[in-house]
Amino acid sequence: MGEDMFVRRCLLAALAVFALAGAPAQAAPPVGSVTELIAPTSGSQNSALVLGADGNVWYTRFLDATIVRVTPAGVATEFPIGGGMPGPSGIVAGPDGNVWFTESAGNRIGQITPAGVITEFAVPTASAWPASITVGLDGNLWFTEYAADQIARITPAGVITEFPLPSPGSKPYGITPGPDGALWFTEFDGNRIGRITTAGVITEFALPTAAADPLAIKAGADGNLWFSESGAAAIGRISTSGAITEFPVPDGGAEPWDLTTAADGNLWFSYLNRAAVGRITPTGTVTDFAVPNGPTGAIGTGPDGAVWAAQFNSDRIARVSVTPPVAPPAPPVTPTPPPVTPTPTPTPTPTPPLTTTTTPTPAPTPTPVAAMLSGVSVGAKAVKLRISCARACAGTATLKRGGTVAGRGRFQVAAGRTVTVTVKAKRRSGRVSITLDTGVRSTFSRTL
């Protein structure tokens, strides 16, 4: 896929941030039901979005080189980037409290503060075409250089290091942090999934299907990595040990594209050439849900727990319900006593007293969901952990050095959000284990 095809991918992405941030709360409709909204700016070609650390929604506009901030009340502020047509594309909430984005055509990485102050950092390799960007568990930002066949790291201070891929012509596109502490990425033309450690060691895994054209990649709640195969009409899953399984979508001519982890614990994805969105469970069961007005592009989970997808042929946005509605409790029924029929008074017979024991019916317990560790930063007296969950979760974070507990902290995360938890622990370099216990235990090994 050349740069022209990459531009097509960027231009197809759109999300209704105004509607997402300011929509009033309503009763949950049935799973897969779609509400459509007209995009606020026709033809604006919005790209990816992210929920910032400031509680606002931020998104990029590819064609008019603008970053947009939208408050929960739906008030939008636009911040022009300037400098011709830099083509802002990927976007992520950074570990420093700012929002970071790629400028694909401008060959820069941008940083914007919550107040809207923009700083840009030039990518060392000319015409590298930076594409997707994410935050690594090392506290740095990592991005793909689509045209340069490189993975790059940028520190919050703006220092960029580039790591060439072993195979030329790979065209890396999507990137995400994995549960093993490494970064995982797709190689569109190379037909591979790549893994890079925070030290820059790269491992590649060939896909079983030729010309599968992998695009987006996301970490699932099941501890695996999931990716779209736009050329094979399938969703792929790869374990951290490299075992790959492919799950065909119902329509053999469909092109799955973007992916998001949703509040129901499944992954939802969009189609470039079908008027539908898909849902895939951790066991690989795929279900499609029709969207009335055309194919879908960028997809993400909103703060309301629904999935939002662009409909790029109609300037509409689809909001798709992912969780079943909760039925209201039935009104209490007052039993009608039976009529009393007079009977002769019997001769009383002594009997031992009766003891009645009432056992309360326990309330249903929701199935716990695994927490994901998406970032670690170290201070003088504390370690800060960035924790996310596919559904709302709460639990305990425990940091150990060897077999000794170095610190603990409690966390509570809303569905689809990320929180920062501070664990008091003395600063000391070395290997640590971090266990996130929500009822489901997930343990991560990190070097501080």
DSSP letter string over 89-143? EEEEE-TTSSEEEEETTTTEEEEE-TT--EEEEE-SSTT--EEEEEE-TTSSEEE
Query: Which positions ≥6 away from 224 have C-beta within 8 Å?
Result: 237, 238, 239, 240, 282
pLDDT single digits (tens) 271-298: 988 889 999 999 999 999 988 877 777 7
Question: d(Cα 174, Cα 222) in Å, to the nearest integer?
Answer: 19
Q: What is the DSSP string of 397-443?
A: EEEEETTEEEEEEEEEE-TT-EEEEEEE-----SEEEEEEESSSEEE
What is the token pair recorded at 399? 């940091």
Specify the amino acid at residue 58.
Answer: W
Beta bridge partners, 421, equal 385
What is the token pair recorded at 213? 């054209």
User: Could you tell me if 175 and 143 are in contact, meaning their C-beta atoms sit under 8 angstroms apart?
Assistant: yes
What is the reported pTM? 0.69
pLDDT single digits (tens) 312-332: 666 666 778 887 544 444 454
3-state secondary structure of 21: helix
pLDDT on residue 360: 41
Q: What are the pLDDT tens digits along the chain (448 aa)?
A: 555 555 445 444 434 333 343 444 445 567 767 666 555 555 555 566 677 788 777 878 787 788 888 776 767 788 999 878 899 989 999 999 999 999 999 999 999 999 999 999 999 999 999 999 999 999 999 999 999 999 999 999 999 999 999 999 999 999 999 999 999 999 999 999 999 999 999 999 999 999 999 999 999 999 999 999 999 999 999 999 999 999 999 999 999 999 989 889 999 998 988 889 999 999 999 999 988 877 777 787 776 777 877 666 666 667 788 875 444 444 544 444 545 444 454 444 443 443 333 334 343 445 677 777 777 878 777 888 888 877 788 888 888 887 788 888 888 887 667 788 888 877 676 777 788 888 777 777 676 7
